């Protein structure tokens, strides 16, 4: 049994086929990784949007609470003035 070594001309087409298959595999892997990265970025953006919305709602709630406390303080001030006037009137 006599083994002959393949010449480059015989091996070149297979080399091209394997190179193309490798390039396709690399492109598929890059596309897969890019898709996963895009989904990761989308999740972070959703988290960030939710955090900003929560902070905004909290700020709105704080502003509403401040307005209510100011109204209560004004009512207590006017009540104190009315009680003081009543005490003066009764004395």
Average pLDDT over residues 54-69: 88
How far from 37 is each of 31, 69, 87, CA to CA, in Å? 10, 47, 74
Section 68-83 average pLDDT: 92
How far apart, in whole angstroms, are the C-alpha atoms of residue 84 and residue 88?
6
pLDDT of residue 2: 60
> In whole angstroms, what is the distance from residue 30 CA to residue 22 CA?
12
CA torsion through residues 49, 54, 55, 61, sign:
positive
pLDDT digits (tens, 9 = 90+) for 14-52: 899 999 999 999 999 999 999 999 999 999 999 999 998
Q: Is the pLDDT reported for residue 8 higher than 80? A: no
Rounded mean pLDDT, 66-87 = 90
């Amino acid at each position: 049994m006599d083994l002959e070594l393949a010449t480059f001309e015989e091996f070149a087409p297979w080399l091209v086929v394997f190179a193309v298959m490798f390039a396709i595999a690399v492109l598929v892997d890059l596309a897969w990784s890019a898709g996963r990265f895009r989904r990761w970025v989308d999740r972070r953006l959703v988290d960030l949007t939710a955090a900003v919305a929560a902070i905004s709602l909290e700020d709105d709630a704080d502003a509403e609470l401040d307005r209510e406390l100011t109204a209560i303080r004004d009512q207590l001030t006017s009540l104190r003035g009315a009680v003081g006037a009543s005490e003066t009137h009764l004395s």
